[in-house]
């Protein structure tokens, strides 16, 4: 990368804004957002052309899922070259142009960093394979001899998150560790070369002008000494609930302290965001101590049902966990790894975040809209996953032969649910791939997708897209929205949440029936028609209302 390509972070350095504390960050999943060259696969040019849409939507920043050179064994979360763009997405020049345009529009750009594992096609891994057992190059990954008389059994009992053993045997007889797919060998973070390499990668992208990094599998880098057995099968059930010998080990924090130091050398308030699967919000808070990362995803919130009592508990726990470390709470309902929330809320509670049943779509959408207004009212930063502003459901009816999620391809008993939220989004009511691009779409879009398109919804005040636009516009103007680290709960009937912050009040009826409450103020926004009379307001089922007081 030559110097003349470097784009400055936005806005011009020197001003300290703490922009990220209340930022709304929009996740772009590049292969499914917009296709600039008509090959059926989204790309950086496509994203660049749609930046004005994101500016007009009213988000503060864009997080791009991986676009690096990759064999795409896990949709780009298997990186072969951390300093190159995969040709399917474009080139470094395209990335530079995208960064410049985004900054000109006042949008920040966060890129995905994948430090837990590389692709098996990464030069380091290929060389390690070629050089054979005993080579120092193997120490950058976890190579081991197997158990059993002839080393025919894996070195320990760890299971891959995608199913099956977390070890694969090489032709020379050694095994290597992969917490995800076999094409994703885990780096050995005990090795100094790995540390040096990732600090260098951080600098490469910081020099390019990115505003931050979403750190993939931030909880996984350090493994317990000796790689001890877990002693039971079905380990997937433990993930996110227990501290595992390969997840959420205390040693990871030292790494993020060293990265934070690198970021502070750069002007422009660049940030680190942890994708950390931790058993509790308190353990997530450890990743965002003052000298570590800036934000951590709130997966506890993502997993919460549309239920007032549950929501209140998680909101309180999240705010209480983040306050002592001085980090903002974050809120998220959907991403590229879970069933979209419009579909989760369309199904009975208790099915988790990975399902393939469409459920009651009207109900799901109504709750999703109400849930969005609640999320955007909370103190802290919020994440929006592409297409949720259109109220998109998960595409639950994808035929098996088109599915590409490695957890589908690999495991028996798992169902590759992640493809359903990755179907390219509709921009226009008609036309080839509904405006996604001039060609097809790498996953088939369902019929009727055009009715949910940006074009169909623009200008319709009842649409979900216009609801998001209004919400984000009000959020910028109204004091108390998205700001601070606390809120004051107000008395409310069962199933209703009501809270105040500064001159703002939010009421959310999570029940399936209308509820009457006293009018708290002047209506700013609501996801459904509400009627006020004689100082009372009837909140329809699944309705959130924003009030100025
Ligand atoms: C993260 C990503 C997911 C990916 C996995 C392995 O959880 O969000 O998409 O499959 O890491 O990199």
289-318 pLDDT per residue, tens: 999 999 999 999 999 999 999 999 999 999
Q: Which residues pair with 330 in a beta bridge?
A: 381
Which residue out of 216, 239, 406, 417 has the highest number of ligand 1 atoms within 8 Å of its CB and is therefore the one to mutate?
216
Tell me the pLDDT of the chain averaged across its residues.
94
Residue 130 has pLDDT above 80, yes or no: yes
Which of 351-365, 398-412, 528-542 ranks highest by mean pLDDT? 528-542
Q: Which sequence positions are flagged as catalytic?
A: 216, 265
C-alpha 116 to ligand 1 mean position (Å): 10
The DSSP bridge pattern shows strands 381-385 and 24-28 to be parallel
Which residue out of 78, 113, 180, 410 has the highest number of ligand 1 atoms within 8 Å of its CB and is therefore the one to mutate?
180
The whole-angstrom separation of Cα 170 and Cα 374 is 50
Q: Where are the alpha helices (DSSP H) in 181-220?
A: 192-208
DSSP label at residue 364: H
- Confidence band of 408 (pLDDT split at 50, 70, 90): low
19-119+188-472 against 487-548: fold identical: no
Q: Determine the pLDDT at residue 496.
A: 98
Q: 51-55: which pairs have CB atoms within 8 A and are 24 or more residues apart?
A: 51/98, 51/101, 51/102, 51/105, 51/107, 52/105, 53/454, 54/26, 54/105, 54/107, 55/105, 55/106, 55/107
Summarize pLDDT for 143-196 with one digit per residue, the tens: 999 999 999 999 999 999 988 899 999 999 999 999 999 999 999 999 999 999
Q: Determine the pLDDT at residue 414.
A: 47
Instruction: Enumerate the domain spans of the chain.
Output: 19-119+188-472, 487-548
CATH (one of 3.40.50.1260, 3.20.20.80, 1.10.3720.10, 1.10.10.410) for 19-119+188-472: 3.20.20.80
Percentage of residues in the chain with pLDDT exceeding 90? 88
The whole-angstrom separation of Cα 205 and Cα 223 is 27
For the 487-548 domain, the top CATH level (class) is mainly beta
**Start-to-end CA span in the chain (Å):** 53
Work out the average pLDDT over 459-482: 97
Cβ proximity of 423 and 444 under 8 Å: yes
- Confidence band of 484 (pLDDT split at 50, 70, 90): very high
- Structure tokens that stand for 74 in this block: 């896990």
Q: How many CB atoms lie within 10 A of CB 193?
A: 14
Q: What share of the chain is helix, strand, coil (3-state, %, to 5)?
A: 30, 15, 50
- Confidence band of 354 (pLDDT split at 50, 70, 90): confident
C-alpha 74 to ligand 1 mean position (Å): 8
Work out the average pLDDT over 322-333: 98
The whole-angstrom separation of Cα 396 and Cα 422 is 11
Ligand 1: lining residues by beta carbon, under 6 Å: 74, 77, 114, 180, 216-217, 275, 336-337
């Amino acid at each position: 990368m030559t110097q003349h390509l470097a784009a400055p972070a936005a806005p011009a350095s020197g001003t300290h804004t703490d922009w990220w504390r209340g930022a709304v960050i929009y996740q772009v999943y590049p292969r499914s957002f917009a296709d600039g060259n008509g090959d059926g696969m989204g790309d950086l040019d496509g994203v660049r052309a749609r930046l004005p849409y994101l500016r007009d939507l009213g988000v503060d920043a864009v997080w791009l899922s991986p676009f690096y050179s990759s064999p795409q064994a896990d949709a780009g979360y298997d990186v072969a070259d951390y300093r190159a763009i995969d040709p399917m997405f474009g080139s470094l020049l395209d990335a530079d142009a995208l960064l410049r345009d985004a900054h000109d529009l006042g949008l920040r750009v966060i890129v995905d960093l994948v430090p837990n594992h590389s692709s098996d096609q990464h030069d380091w891994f290929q060389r390690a394979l070629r050089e054979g057992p005993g080579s120092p190059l193997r120490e950058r990954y976890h190579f081991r001899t197997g158990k059993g008389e002839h080393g025919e059994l894996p070195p320990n009992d760890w299971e891959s998150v995608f199913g099956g053993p977390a070890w694969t045997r090489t032709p020379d007889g050694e095994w290597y560790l992969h917490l995800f797919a076999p094409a994703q060998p885990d780096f050995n973070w005990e090795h100094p070369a790995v540390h040096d390499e990732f600090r260098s990668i951080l600098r490469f992208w910081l020099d390019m002008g990115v505003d931050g990094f979403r750190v993939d599998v931030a909880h996984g880098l350090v493994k317990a000494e000796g790689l001890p057995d877990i002693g039971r099968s079905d380990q997937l059930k433990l993930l996110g609930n227990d501290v595992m010998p390969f997840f959420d080990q205390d040693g990871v924090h030292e790494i993020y302290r060293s990265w934070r130091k690198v970021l502070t050398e750069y002007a422009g308030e660049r940030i680190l965001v942890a994708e950390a699967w931790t058993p509790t919000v308190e353990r997530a808070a450890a990743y965002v101590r003052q000298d570590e990362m800036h934000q951590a995803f709130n997966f506890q919130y993502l997993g919460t049902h549309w239920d007032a009592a549950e929501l209140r508990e998680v909101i309180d726990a999240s705010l209480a966990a983040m306050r002592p470390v001085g980090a903002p709470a974050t809120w998220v309902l959907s991403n590229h790894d879970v069933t979209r929330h419009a579909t989760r809320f369309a199904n009975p509670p208790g099915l988790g975040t990975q399902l393939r049943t469409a459920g009651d779509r009207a109900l799901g959408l109504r709750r999703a809209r109400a849930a969005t207004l609640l999320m955007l009212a909370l103190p802290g930063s919020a994440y929006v996953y592409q297409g949720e502003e259109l109220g998109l459901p998960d595409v639950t009816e994808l035929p098996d032969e088109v599915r590409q999620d490695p957890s589908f391809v690999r495991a028996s008993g798992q169902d590759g649910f992640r493809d359903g939220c990755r179907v390219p989004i509709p921009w226009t009511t008609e036309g080839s791939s509904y405006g996604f691009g001039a060609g097809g779409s790498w996953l088939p879009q369902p019929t009727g997708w055009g009715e949910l398109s940006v074009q169909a919804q623009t200008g319709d005040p009842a649409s979900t897209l216009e609801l998001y636009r209004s919400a984000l516009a009000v959020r910028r103007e109204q004091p108390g929205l998205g700001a601070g680290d606390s809120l004051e709960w107000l008395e409310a009937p069962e199933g209703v949440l009501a809270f105040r912050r500064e001159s703002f009040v939010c009421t959310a009826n999570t029940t399936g029936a209308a509820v009457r409450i006293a009018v708290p103020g002047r209506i700013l926004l609501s996801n459904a028609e509400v009627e006020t009379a004689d100082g009372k307001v009837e909140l329809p089922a699944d309705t959130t209302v924003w009030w100025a007081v």
